[in-house]
Chains A and B, each alone.
Chain A
Amino acid sequence: DQQVKQNSPSLSVQEGRISILNCDYTNSMFDYFLWYKKYPAEGPTFLISISSIKDKNEDGRFTVFLNKSAKHLSLHIVPSQPGDSAVYFCAASSNYGGATNKLIFGTGTLLAVQP
């Protein structure tokens, strides 16, 4: 049972345009969400996170939006750069059973930014 879903395996965007990566989840107990970026042969790198008490968080070119009623979050990258080309993973955690660092990941979206 995939609790965190990234339904688009890949996305291609022109340099300078906006990249929008989407993520859906099914577990209403999730209260913290993160986005990671992964290059081949490297471990995932933390990008940005959002708590369930917020609906938006910005960090430079990256903005994450959370829609709790739709159980949906998205990552916006503006403007997109060729160096952003990587696999992006959405992850979620729930602290209702006690504080934990256990993350549930989606299957990833491969973003290709064309020069």
Chain B
Amino acid sequence: KAGVTQTPRYLIKTRGQQVTLSCSPISGHRSVSWYQQTPGQGLQFLFEYFSETQRNKGNFPGRFSGRQFSNSRSEMNVSTLELGDSALYLCASSLAPNLNTEAFFGQGTRLTVV
């Protein structure tokens, strides 16, 4: 069974640009969550999607947005990029929002804003 696939793996953008990151969850998984990892901050929750609906959103500005498609694939978008947006963006997939289910992570997209 294929794992969580994130594309692209690496990305370099300049300030002010926008970026779209993609995540394909494990086959059969319908819940997708996004996290930002920066040095010293650990993993910060961005959003959670299930059945094309956003169920939860973290404390990030409106420049960060996401969506989920009918095949459970998800994208996140960051507009007007800032230097501080440089981070590893991780996607996690789960069967469904449920008690006691673990999330499986992709390898992440390393975004560098210059």
* A contact residues vs B (CB 8 Å cutoff): 32, 34, 36, 41-46, 49, 51, 89, 91, 95, 98-108
Bound form: Cα–Cα A42–B9 in Å: 11
Bound complex: CA of A95 vs CA of B98, how far in Å?
8
Considering only CB atoms, which chain A residue lies closest to B45 in the complex? A102
Q: Is the CB of A49 within 8 A of B107?
A: no
Instruction: Assess the B43–A105 pair: CB atoms within 8 A.
Output: yes
B103 within 8 A of A: yes
Chain A, Cβ-Cβ closest to B90: A43
B102's contact among A49, A98, A107, by CB below 8 Å, is which?
Answer: A49
Whether B42 pairs with A105 at a CB distance below 8 angstroms is yes
Interface of A (DSSP majority class): loop
| Shortest Cβ-Cβ A-B pairs, 5 listed | A43-B105, A107-B42, A105-B43, A99-B97, A46-B102
Q: How far is the CB of B36 from chain A (nearest CB, A)?
A: 11
Contacts of B105 in A (CB 8 A): 36, 43-45
Contact with A101, one of B40, B41, B90, B97 (Cβ below 8 angstroms): B97
B97 with A100: CB separation less than 8 A? yes
Q: Bound complex: CA of A41 vs CA of B110, how far in Å? A: 9
- Give the complex CA separation of A36 and B92 in angstroms: 12
Interface residues of B in 11-56 (CB under 8 A from A): 31, 33, 35, 40-45, 48, 55-56
List 29 interface pairs A-B (beta carbons < 8 Å), by A numbering.
A32-B99, A36-B105, A42-B107, A43-B90, A43-B92, A43-B108, A44-B105, A46-B103, A49-B102, A51-B99, A89-B42, A98-B97, A99-B96, A99-B97, A99-B98, A100-B55, A101-B48, A101-B92, A101-B97, A101-B98, A101-B101, A102-B45, A103-B33, A103-B35, A103-B43, A103-B103, A105-B45, A106-B42, A108-B42
B68 within 8 A of A: no
Considering the complex, give the chain B residue whose CB is closest to the CB of A34. B102
B66 interface contact, C-beta 8 A: no
Distance between Cα atoms of A95 and B97 in the complex (Å): 9
